[in-house]
Amino acid sequence: MPNEDLLTIGQRTYRSRLLVGTGKYKDLDETGAAIAESGAEIVTVAIRRTNIGQSPDEPNLLDVVSPERYTILPNTAGCFNAKDAIRTCQLARELLDGHNLVKLEVLGDQKTLYPDIPATLEAAEALIKDDFEVMVYTNDDPIVAKRLEAMGCVAVMPLAAPIGSGLGVQNKYNILTIVENAEVPILVDAGVGTASDASVAMELGCDGVLMNTAIAGAKNPVLMASAMRKAVEAGREAFLAGRIPRKRYASASSPLDGTFF
Amino acid sequence: MPNEDLLTIGQRTYRSRLLVGTGKYKDLDETGAAIAESGAEIVTVAIRRTNIGQSPDEPNLLDVVSPERYTILPNTAGCFNAKDAIRTCQLARELLDGHNLVKLEVLGDQKTLYPDIPATLEAAEALIKDDFEVMVYTNDDPIVAKRLEAMGCVAVMPLAAPIGSGLGVQNKYNILTIVENAEVPILVDAGVGTASDASVAMELGCDGVLMNTAIAGAKNPVLMASAMRKAVEAGREAFLAGRIPRKRYASASSPLDGTFF
Amino acid sequence: MPNEDLLTIGQRTYRSRLLVGTGKYKDLDETGAAIAESGAEIVTVAIRRTNIGQSPDEPNLLDVVSPERYTILPNTAGCFNAKDAIRTCQLARELLDGHNLVKLEVLGDQKTLYPDIPATLEAAEALIKDDFEVMVYTNDDPIVAKRLEAMGCVAVMPLAAPIGSGLGVQNKYNILTIVENAEVPILVDAGVGTASDASVAMELGCDGVLMNTAIAGAKNPVLMASAMRKAVEAGREAFLAGRIPRKRYASASSPLDGTFF
Amino acid sequence: MPNEDLLTIGQRTYRSRLLVGTGKYKDLDETGAAIAESGAEIVTVAIRRTNIGQSPDEPNLLDVVSPERYTILPNTAGCFNAKDAIRTCQLARELLDGHNLVKLEVLGDQKTLYPDIPATLEAAEALIKDDFEVMVYTNDDPIVAKRLEAMGCVAVMPLAAPIGSGLGVQNKYNILTIVENAEVPILVDAGVGTASDASVAMELGCDGVLMNTAIAGAKNPVLMASAMRKAVEAGREAFLAGRIPRKRYASASSPLDGTFF
């Protein structure tokens, strides 16, 4: 990997392009081990479901995911309207001593966990005005992605597929269009199921991938964390290395056009 | 990667599951650098096109790909009938001091570079009788793959897509069926275009991947070699780690059935 | 086709589930011939680009697409904000003597022709308040689709792929989810390229398909119109007939689960 | 459909490009009704499983599928070697008073029902020498398809996917290559699940499609038969009409190249 290939989000700079969550692990030990193996430097935490100090007498995630080693990225998972999401971010800022980088998600329904786009736009605007640095979960609509960027979000995070589905990138053209139009980092968030899914996202030019279930839900989460670390690096390097064109045959004089599928 | 996860082909054992070719590089320096970066331990050489001693006064590939460091795997690229393929293997054995591991390919036509299956079966049988250890390039037909194994081939190498096409695995069900039925290593040979293609093959349970154009033809072959090394490892680890099932939603009670695409 | 299988949009009922546009034909004769061959009963007209009476001295589309035979569906193609779209609908209502069924599209940019969702929501709300029956072009986000339905749109028309792309349904899960959640007709609008694309949309349970370029841009538009008529019927019938499950083999005891691609 | 668009197989000419089987129906009435609705003119019969006169006292398929109305195409389903297949064809010829058009299938195993290619080649050669007109079931390998044509088969019938799987065309490039190289009719045989699958095969340029389970196994076989008739016609017409190219956007100046998926 070229040494200078860094990911910049807001004011911060990272070497790893894999971001991970903390839910669904067997216990905090497994959480810590998998996250360490993943090589992630940014760890997202569902403030409504995870104790990072709200309940002083219970196990604290920050004991295994140290804020000194990782950028803790509070997220608003479980919020279904702008107001709840904004409050959750404010609570997180208090708990984390003024830390202002957040991942905003405002969900549209319980079943698909797709974002509610109008509420997401509303919450993003309010949070940016309140000096948050907003990384924002969104659908894969290129127009929406551009609007969120224009509004001042520091990273735009389109879904590959529904949260927890493991289906991989469903609409590659949309992700590609979002990437081509972007001037802030585009991180695929949600829907990755296995290593190749993460590579595909990176090969499309995404700046990073965020995942939780794909690692925590694997039979062997620590080994899957290693797979995902390598997959993100592999996809990034393949993107930078410039792949061969797709052709029907080696002997074809030009890449596929018109007859691809 | 678990330490004990080794690839055994015939009598030999390897740590790397990425096999690479030597064609299409700018020069021997680039060849050597990309192969080193790929981490490959088996390097396949087209005996009809590559000097490994046939022309004593010309640059010798073995100067940059040392037989002491790598297993040299002579292949019969460019052979369109069993007789030529058999002779080429015999020539290779002489040049390599009795080395009897070969990669057999008997091609069906110049355009698709698909194998000629009846001629492949014929050549494989003759070579096995002549004490070669035969790794064999084939199409992705599960019945043919099983027959080649039954005949005594030490590895079966179905194509993912046409040689040099970069299209990736075209028929995942066939590759999966071949893998499920096999008692010898199954290595995807031909058709890989980028990192995720290699991961996909490994996630299907293949024992390894062989490629040449995908690395040598990339804009930056050395960086792509690194990508491919990581992609093969990522795919292998993801296979071993046990991925989450594909579901339409996180909340779905069972994996997709009937309504997948 | 069962006789009772009718498409109801607002107050009107149709036998055909193929809706067509009028742009990009060589001349009005070809327009008329292709539309007749398609069997369509609803014909959408881009009010900003098509003369249906605005220019009394020029050829009038209604001469070949008679409002007595077809439901004329004015659309707001070319409108990039709510205000323009609303005005265009009002102009159409005047030109068409109070006809209040319209197809709303508010576009987000010139390149992708993706909808601008917030502006679409705004325009839909205003038009419904102004007694229009609104059929609405949207992206394939299930949450947005449901909101447009809840607001009172008489049909929701998610894109299969970008307008004019010919790529076919890019995200089948999204279209399926929209269909499953809907209580108004769901018509795929935009992105169909060939007959099977239309069938796929119908097999997902869509109530109809709208297209223009796929017919008008074919080498033989009249023959393609016939193909599309049959494809929409075929897809509808296949949906109603209940397809066999996908399985890896005939002998498999259960449909694919976990190992589909 | 252009009037002159006929399918010629050997000496015979047909209007319909849908060929159907007779297995798996509830009863002979349903068989007859579905076949009539399909518009098929060629009906294939598994000689080893179907009574066409071998058991004079039992219901005879030919009572509902009259040889005066349909071309009866005996097939060798259930044969796992060349000898059995050859004998089955000879028996059929006797039962059908010298009728010499047969569909040869020599299967490789019970699970996948993939063909055994060497045995298929052997049986085809023997049958052609014995004055049969051979339509031959094969895998989707272009080299094998060309060899079967060169040998004198009157039609080559590559599988789309395993028999009874309903997966649709798995390797479009292979089918396309087979079609491009062929001088005899190419009929997709096996693997179709729903209407769009049949259209896809025809859009690739195939001359026809043969299916059984997709119709007989549908919840409503007669309605599915109608769907398939239309789907085959739609796909054929779309192929002849010349589809629009796939592009990322309408505004793109050239079709997709390099960045398609």
Provide the ipTM.
0.94
Residue C75 has phi, psi (to 5 degrees) of -125, 165
| pLDDT at res. A53 | 85
| pLDDT at res. B250 | 82
Residue A65 CA to residue B237 CA, distance in Å, equals 24
Residue A244 CA to residue A255 CA, distance in Å, equals 9
**How confident is the prediction for chain D on average, in pLDDT?**
94
* Mean per-residue pLDDT, A65-84: 95
Whether C220 and chain D come into contact, CB under 8 Å, resolves to yes
In 3D space, the residue among C150, C139, C155, C51 whose CA is nearest the CA of residue C103 turns out to be C155
- Under the banding of pLDDT at 50, 70 and 90, the label for residue D258 is very low
Residue C65 CA to residue C25 CA, distance in Å, equals 13
CB under 8 Å to A214, separation ≥6 — which residues?
A166, A192, A193, A194, A197, A198, A224, A228, B243, B244
CA of C60, closest CA in chain A: separation in Å?
A: 35
Taking CA atoms, D145 is separated from B157, C40, D135, D136, D199, in Å, by: 21, 41, 11, 9, 21
| pLDDT at res. A251 | 73
Per residue in D29-68, pLDDT (tens digit) is 999 999 999 999 999 999 988 888 888 888 889 988 999 9
In 3D space, the residue among D228, D223, D218, D226 whose CA is nearest the CA of residue D26 turns out to be D218
**Dihedral sign from CA coordinates of D163, D167, D173, D175:** positive
Whether A55 and chain D come into contact, CB under 8 Å, resolves to no
Select the residue from C112, C188, C243 to test the D interface by mutation, using most D Cβ atoms within 10 A.
C243
* Mean per-residue pLDDT, C92-107: 94
Share of chain C above pLDDT 70, in %: 95
CB–CB of A245 and D258 under 8 A? yes
CB under 8 Å to D82, separation ≥6 — which residues?
D106, D119, D120, D122, D123, D126
Residue A214 CA to residue A20 CA, distance in Å, equals 10
Question: Is residue D261 over pLDDT 70?
Answer: no
| pLDDT at res. B59 | 87
Contacts with A, B 224-243, CB within 8 Å? 224, 226-228, 230-231, 233-238, 240-243
Whether B194 and chain D come into contact, CB under 8 Å, resolves to no
Whether C213 contacts D244, CB under 8 Å: yes
CA of D133, closest CA in chain C: separation in Å?
A: 28
Helix (H, G, I), strand (E, B) or coil at C183: coil
Joined tokens for residue D53: 């006169």
Whether A254 and chain D come into contact, CB under 8 Å, resolves to yes
Q: List the subunits that have 3+ CB pairs under 8 angstroms with A.
A: B, C, D
Residue D256 CA to residue C106 CA, distance in Å, equals 26
Q: Between B109, B121, B171, which is nearest D143 by CB?
A: B109
**What burial class does residue B13 get, using C-beta atoms within 10 Å of its C-beta: 0-12 exposed, 13-18 middle, 19+ buried?**
exposed
Point out the residues of C that are catalytic: 103
Least confident of A2-6, C162-166, C237-241, D160-164: A2-6
Helix (H, G, I), strand (E, B) or coil at B33: helix
Terminal Cα-to-Cα distance of chain B (whole angstroms): 32
Whether D172 and chain A come into contact, CB under 8 Å, resolves to yes
User: Which helix (DSSP H) or strand (DSSP E) does residue D53 occupy?
Assistant: none
Share of chain C above pLDDT 90, in %: 84
Taking CA atoms, C2 is separated from A201, C14, D194, D198, D217, in Å, by: 45, 13, 18, 21, 19
Q: Between A111, A221, A238, which is nearest B249 by CB?
A: A111
3-state helix, strand, coil in chain C (%, to 5): 35, 15, 45
Taking CA atoms, B210 is separated from A34, A207, B17, B18, in Å, by: 30, 28, 8, 6
| pLDDT at res. D251 | 73
| pLDDT at res. A181 | 95
- Under the banding of pLDDT at 50, 70 and 90, the label for residue D254 is low
In 3D space, the residue among B100, B172, B88, B189 whose CA is nearest the CA of residue B138 turns out to be B189
Whether C141 and chain A come into contact, CB under 8 Å, resolves to yes
Question: Is residue B3 over pLDDT 70?
Answer: no
Whether B106 contacts B113, CB under 8 Å: no
Residue B163: closest CA among chain A residues belongs to which residue?
A250
Question: Is residue B119 over pLDDT 90?
Answer: yes
In 3D space, the residue among B190, B218, B186 whose CA is nearest the CA of residue B202 turns out to be B186
* Mean per-residue pLDDT, A201-214: 97
Residue owning tokens 């293997």: B89
CB–CB of A258 and D245 under 8 A? yes
User: Is D212 part of any known ligand binding site?
Assistant: yes
Per residue in B70-93, pLDDT (tens digit) is 999 999 999 999 999 999 999 999
Whether B156 contacts B184, CB under 8 Å: yes
Task: Extract the annotated binding site of B for 1-deoxy-D-xylulose 5-phosphate.
Answer: 164, 190-191, 212-213
Residue C63 CA to residue C52 CA, distance in Å, equals 9
- Under the banding of pLDDT at 50, 70 and 90, the label for residue D98 is confident
Residue D248: closest CA among chain A residues belongs to which residue?
A173
Whether B212 and chain A come into contact, CB under 8 Å, resolves to no
| pLDDT at res. D59 | 87
Residue B121 CA to residue B118 CA, distance in Å, equals 5
| pLDDT at res. C252 | 65
Question: Is residue B247 over pLDDT 60?
Answer: yes
In 3D space, the residue among C20, C28, C77, C70 whose CA is nearest the CA of residue C231 turns out to be C20
C-chain CB neighbours of B245 within 8 Å are 257-258
**What burial class does residue C27 get, using C-beta atoms within 10 Å of its C-beta: 0-12 exposed, 13-18 middle, 19+ buried?**
exposed
Distance of CA A60 to the CA centre of its chain: 23
In order of start, what are the domains of chain D with their CATH numbers?
Answer: 7-241 (3.20.20.70)
CB–CB of A258 and D248 under 8 A? no
Per residue in B154-179, pLDDT (tens digit) is 999 999 999 999 999 999 999 999 99
Q: What is the pTM of this model?
A: 0.95
Residue C172: closest CA among chain A residues belongs to which residue?
A170
CA of C20, closest CA in chain D: separation in Å?
A: 16
User: Is A51 part of any known ligand binding site?
Assistant: no
Q: Between D118, D170, D174, which is nearest B173 by CB?
A: D170
Helix (H, G, I), strand (E, B) or coil at A33: helix
Task: Give residue A32's identity as a one-letter amino acid code.
Answer: G
CA of B138, closest CA in chain C: separation in Å?
A: 21
Per residue in A136-190, pLDDT (tens digit) is 999 999 999 999 999 999 999 999 999 999 999 999 999 999 999 999 999 999 9
Helix (H, G, I), strand (E, B) or coil at C206: coil
CB–CB of D224 and C203 under 8 A? no
Question: Is residue C254 over pLDDT 80?
Answer: no
**What burial class does residue B142 get, using C-beta atoms within 10 Å of its C-beta: 0-12 exposed, 13-18 middle, 19+ buried?**
buried
CB–CB of D117 and B118 under 8 A? yes
Taking CA atoms, C64 is separated from C19, C60, C69, in Å, by: 16, 8, 10
| DSSP β-bridge partners for residue D151 | none
Per residue in B5-49, pLDDT (tens digit) is 999 999 899 999 999 999 999 999 999 999 999 999 999 999 988
Whether D171 contacts B170, CB under 8 Å: yes
Question: Is residue D1 over pLDDT 80?
Answer: no
CA of D35, closest CA in chain C: separation in Å?
A: 15
In 3D space, the residue among B10, B18, B11 whose CA is nearest the CA of residue B228 turns out to be B18
> How many Cβ pairs within 8 Å bridge chains C and D?
195
User: Which helix (DSSP H) or strand (DSSP E) does residue A153 occupy?
Assistant: none
Distance of CA D81 to the CA centre of its chain: 20
Reported as half-sphere exposure (CB side, CA atoms, 13 A), residue D14 has a value of 20
Whether A256 and chain D come into contact, CB under 8 Å, resolves to yes
CB–CB of D141 and B141 under 8 A? yes
Least confident of A13-17, A231-235, A245-249, C113-117: A245-249
* Mean per-residue pLDDT, D239-255: 85
CB–CB of D248 and A173 under 8 A? yes
Per residue in D195-234, pLDDT (tens digit) is 999 999 999 999 999 999 999 999 999 999 999 999 999 9
Terminal Cα-to-Cα distance of chain D (whole angstroms): 32
| pLDDT at res. B186 | 98
Q: Between B177, B254, B260, which is nearest C260 by CB?
A: B260
* Mean per-residue pLDDT, B211-238: 98
Q: How many CB atoms lie within 10 A of CB B9?
A: 21
| pLDDT at res. C258 | 47
Whether D234 contacts C234, CB under 8 Å: yes
Task: Extract the annotated binding site of C for 1-deoxy-D-xylulose 5-phosphate.
Answer: 164, 190-191, 212-213
C-chain CB neighbours of B177 within 8 Å are 248
Question: Is residue C142 over pLDDT 80?
Answer: yes
* Mean per-residue pLDDT, D76-89: 96
* Mean per-residue pLDDT, C74-95: 96
Q: How many CB atoms lie within 10 A of CB D150?
A: 10
In 3D space, the residue among B70, B126, B127 whose CA is nearest the CA of residue B93 turns out to be B127
Point out the residues of A that are catalytic: 103
User: Is A138 part of any known ligand binding site?
Assistant: no
Question: Is residue D246 over pLDDT 80?
Answer: yes
Helix (H, G, I), strand (E, B) or coil at D157: strand
Whether A196 and chain C come into contact, CB under 8 Å, resolves to no
Share of chain D above pLDDT 70, in %: 95
Question: Is residue C39 over pLDDT 50?
Answer: yes
Per residue in A117-145, pLDDT (tens digit) is 999 999 999 999 999 999 999 999 999 99
B-chain CB neighbours of C248 within 8 Å are 173, 177
Whether B45 contacts B74, CB under 8 Å: yes
CA of A257, closest CA in chain D: separation in Å?
A: 5
D-chain CB neighbours of C247 within 8 Å are 164-167
Angle, vertex CA D17, rays to CA D14 and CA D23, nearest 5: 105
Question: Is residue B126 over pLDDT 70?
Answer: yes
B-chain CB neighbours of C140 within 8 Å are none
